[in-house]
Each structure stands twice: as C-alpha cells, then as structure tokens.
Amino acid sequence: MSNVPSNLHYTKDHEWVKVEADGTVTVGITDYAQAALGDVTFIDLPKVGKQLESADVFGTVESVKAASDLYSPVSGEVIAINSSLNNTPDLVNREPYEKAWMIKIKLKSAAELDKLLDSSSYQSLL
C-alpha cells in the first residue's frame, strides 16, 4: 500500500505539493510514483529563477527502467532546488515526502491550489 499523507495536495501525475507557512509550495513525487519507477538513478531539476506554468515539464526523473518527465503542479517561480538529489537520487525511493523534495515554487496565484487533489481523492486514483 502506498503512503499518502493527509496534509499534502496531489496531482494525477503523482506529484505532491506542500503549502509552507510563508505561502510558497514544495513539490516532490509520491510514494506510489517512486515505487512504480523503481530504483531512481538521476534527477534533472530546473535552475532557480525559472518561471513555470502549470503542467510545464520542470525536470526528469530517471530510474533503471525508464526516464519520466516531471510536471509542475502550479504556476510560479522556482525559488529553490534540492541539490542533495544530485548525489543521492535514491533518496526519492527512501523518503519521497521529506528529504527528497525536488523544487520550491513561489506561487503566481494561490487559487491554483484549489485545482489540486486532496489525499483521499488522490488515494482513490491508485
């Protein structure tokens, strides 16, 4: 069974979104996604400052089996990337919701958060 924490938002593309106290969001991929990918070997992330529209490809996650695109759940500016994934991409398999966060985004519009799935809606897709 996949772990789906109730305090996060989700997309149908198996990304999670955490709304931080300052209104920025942190993005990663879900436990279900990491299990489906298998051993993650490489993660390509955007540069800080990149402007993303919702559903833009913001990077690539590569496992032994396949390379998969990462889609931005929201619109906004990339304000941080998790550079520890360069050397330890397998963090995505071990701690997908905590240490393996991928990017932080400064939202263009908080209203976009309403379009995301809550944990029970996401769980029902799995």
Partner 1 sequence: MSDELSRTPLYDLHVELGARMVPFAGWEMPVQYSGIIEEHLAVRNKAGLFDVSHMGEARVRGKDAAAFLDAVMTNEFSSLQPNRARYTIMCYPDGGCVDDLIIYRMSQDEFLICLNASNAAKDIAWMKSQVGNWDVQIIDECSQWAQLALQGPFAEKILSSLTNLKLDTLKRFAFIMGEVAGAPNCIVARTGYTGSPGFEIYVPAAQGSAVARAILAKGKPDGLLPIGLGARDSLRLEAGYPLYGHELSEKISPIQAGLSWTVKFSKPQFIGRDSLLRQTEMGVSSTVVMFSLNDRRIARPGATVFSGDQAVGEILSGTLSPVLNKPIGTALVASGINPETLTVDIRGTRLPLQITQNPFFK
The upper half-sphere exposure of residue 68, i.e. CA atoms within 13 Å in the direction of its Cβ, equals: 19
Distance (Å, rounded) from C-alpha 4 to C-alpha 99? 16
CB 10 within 8 A of CB 126: no
Of the candidate residues 23, 42, 55, 109, the single one contacting partner 1 (CB under 8 A): 42
Asked whether position 76 contacts partner 1 by CB under 8 A, the answer is no
Asked whether position 64 contacts partner 1 by CB under 8 A, the answer is yes
Question: What would the two tokens of residue 9 be?
Answer: 């938002």
Asked whether position 98 contacts partner 1 by CB under 8 A, the answer is no
- What residue has token string 């490489």? 42
Q: Find the part of the chain contacting partner 1 (CB under 8 A) among 25-33, 41-49, 106-114, 116-124.
A: 41-49
β pairing state of 25-29 and 15-19 = antiparallel
The alpha carbon of 17 is separated from its chain's Cα centroid by a whole number of angstroms, namely 6
- Give the shortest CB-64-to-partner 1 separation in angstroms: 5
Of the candidate residues 28, 46, 89, 96, the single one contacting partner 1 (CB under 8 A): 89
Q: Find the part of the chain contacting partner 1 (CB under 8 A) among 21-29, 45-53, 62-70, 74-82.
A: 62-70
Distance (Å, rounded) from C-alpha 94 to C-alpha 14? 16
Asked whether position 48 contacts partner 1 by CB under 8 A, the answer is no
Residues that bind partner 1 (CB under 8 A): 38-39, 41-42, 44, 60, 62, 64-67, 89, 93
